[in-house]
Amino acid sequence: MTDLINANLVDLDVPGDDRDEVTRALGTRLAEAGRVTDVDGFLADLRQREEQMPTGIEGGIGIPHARSEHVTKPTLAFGRSHPGVDFGAPDGPARLIFLIAAPASGGEDHMSILAALARRLVHQDFRDRLLAAADANEVVELVHKEVLGQ
């Protein structure tokens, strides 16, 4: 899973002020990296998943995620939003957005990434370091160390 996230999949000032704009910006990064074959198809799968239950969690975090036939390999993209974006969390908008994309057949990968990420995001220290990260490489290093244990 060392190639789960890289600097090209990180946007420290993700454009947009709603979840559709933000997920499109991150989904486009996935397509540019060859991780998604059809952005619109992937985003449709993502919206379908969001309709089942919001993916915002306390602490200013959004974790939109979906399995999709348009995903070539398990991938994690990260966006930081200064104004925040509503992902349905009870405590307000998300400033830290993690987009998890998994192939349609990748249920275990999808859930293990989500679980590992959720375990780390409960720690304020980790969230603070993501908010303060100076560049994309710093985010990638944090995720590799703290989430993936690498």
As a whole number of angstroms, the distance between CA 21 and CA 26 comes to 9
Residue 94's nearest CA partner among 12, 5, 19, 8 is 19
* Domain spans of the chain, in order of start: 7-147
- Residue 13 to residue 8: CA distance in whole angstroms: 13
pLDDT tens per residue, range 75-131: 999 999 999 999 999 999 999 999 999 999 866 766 788 888 888 999 999 999 999
Out of 65, 82, 123, 144, which one is annotated catalytic? 65
DSSP strand pairing (56-57 vs 61-62): antiparallel
Is 110 an annotated catalytic residue? Answer: no
Which amino acid does the sequence have at 136? A
Q: Which residues does 91 contact at the CB level (< 8 Å), separation at least 6?
A: 58, 59, 60
Reported CATH class of domain 7-147: alpha beta
Query: Whole-prediction pTM value?
Result: 0.93
